A = this chain, B = another copy of it.
Amino acid sequence: MEKLGVALVGHAFMGAVHSHAWRTVGHVFDLPVAPDMAVLCGRREDAAEAAAARLGWRESSADWKSVLRRDDVHVVDICTPGDSHSEIAIAALKAGKHVLCEKPLANSVAEAAAMAAEAERAAAAGIGSMVAFNYRRVPALALARELIERGRLGRVRHVRAAYLQDWLVDPEAPLTWRLQAERAGSGALGDLGAHLVDLTQFLLDDEITGVSAVLETFVPQRPLESEPRSTGAVTVDDATLFTARFAGGAVATFEATRYAAGRKNGLRIEVNGSEGSIAFDFESMNELQFHDGTDTAESSGFRRVLATEPGHPYLQAWYPPGHVLGYDHTFTHEIRDFVVAVASGSPPRPGFSDGLRVQRVLDAVQRSAARESRWTAVEGGES
């Protein structure tokens, strides 16, 4: 079987999770090509080398640019902070490499637009690009999408989406790069809210057209990582709340925060339609709550669908019913879909244009918050 050479850039949390997925995917799914974990790139040589050994990469490099020139590398997987995405991705695409890029796609609409433009050019040459919104590959959510697509919810009226974490509850937690606008772009908005925006647009197969938003920074100064007795300014949002409208007529509430004490990874989505509803919470990621409005009233209620049946998305490759999956399986699914797409020459989804679409919503959120929450249209939207 032909090999698909992969270079991964970045080896922190996301790099480790992607590595696990690259190591696993070919042993679980039938793939048209064989992923080859060629090289791991990092900023510092020694750290990259140690990470490569630990995470299962053949080689390491401190110079991603040189890696782009290698013939045995066909894919570049970008797991760095958001401020370097556009440079690496555009260079990789220009070098004829397929690109998988962590979310959010970029730190600004301008960067994202440039990336999407480059991706479009590359696509004409058969080069694929994808943004790593892994939650689309939670089987329960992929199932939700199928149910909505088949009309089981009827006309969608309501979306309520919240992504709740609590790791900033302590005001003494340090000022990491995730709290600095120049590195992270934004705070809860880009880190958590971006997932919500992509997921809800995916589930409904629809676009957000406008928003009214509030941003809040509860703790404006935090201890520096390097020098804990000094503090620095938090320059991103601690929490983001917004209402939104979809082109298809649904109204929505969104909320992203790292101050929801006791909620660890509470990505929650509920969608209500004229014929039924779905509800999901990532903390119980194998479960989809599904209300079928066509059930007889007397025996109707939200069904706790355990999304582990052979007929559920991605499950054919795994275990018998009830043998639940975890967070890292979503990346294995994502990479499986990416590999299948690039091997067949069809565009992987979500593409950079989807990432741009998300970025434009985040941008509208920030603009609305800056002008007294006034209703703000998403640029480039359908309507």
Does chain B have a CB within 8 A of A202? no
Across-interface contacts of A214 in B (CB, < 8 A): 212, 243, 245, 251
Shortest C-beta distance, A298 to chain B (Å), equals 5
Residues 228-258 (chain A) with a chain B CB within 8 angstroms: 239, 241-243, 245, 249, 251-253, 255, 257
Q: Are A298 and B143 in contact (CB under 8 A)?
A: yes
Q: Are A253 and B253 in contact (CB under 8 A)?
A: yes
Does chain B have a CB within 8 A of A373? yes
Shortest C-beta distance, A247 to chain B (Å), equals 14
Closest B residue to A28 using CB positions: B20
Chain A interface category by residue count: 35 or more
Rounded to whole angstroms, the CA-CA distance of A181 and B83 in the bound complex is 51
Q: If the complex has contacts A293-B262, A312-B298, are A322 and B165 also in contact, measured as CB distance less than 8 A?
A: yes
Proximity bits, A166-205, B CB within 8 Å = 1, else 0: 1101010000000000000000000000000000000000
Rounded to whole angstroms, the CA-CA distance of A124 and B302 in the bound complex is 48
Q: Which of B241, B265, B303, B309 interacts with A251 by CB under 8 Å? A: B241
Does chain B have a CB within 8 A of A151? no
Q: If the complex has contacts A243-B242, A374-B372, are A277 and B299 also in contact, measured as CB distance less than 8 A?
A: no
Residues 250-305 (chain A) with a chain B CB within 8 angstroms: 251-253, 255, 257, 259-266, 270, 272-277, 282-288, 290-293, 295, 297-305
Among listed A92-100, A101-109, A154-162, A333-341, interface-contacting one: A154-162
Does chain B have a CB within 8 A of A62? no
26 contacts between A and B (CB under 8 A): A13-B319, A19-B27, A20-B28, A27-B55, A143-B299, A157-B218, A167-B320, A167-B321, A171-B274, A213-B243, A239-B251, A253-B255, A261-B275, A262-B291, A262-B293, A262-B300, A263-B272, A264-B306, A264-B322, A265-B308, A265-B323, A265-B324, A285-B324, A298-B309, A304-B304, A323-B326
Interface residues of A (CB under 8 A from B): 13, 17, 19-20, 23-24, 27-28, 54-56, 143, 147, 152-153, 157-158, 160, 162, 164-167, 169, 171, 212-214, 216, 218, 239, 241-243, 245, 249, 251-253, 255, 257, 259-266, 270, 272-277, 282-288, 290-293, 295, 297-306, 308-309, 311-312, 319-329, 372-375
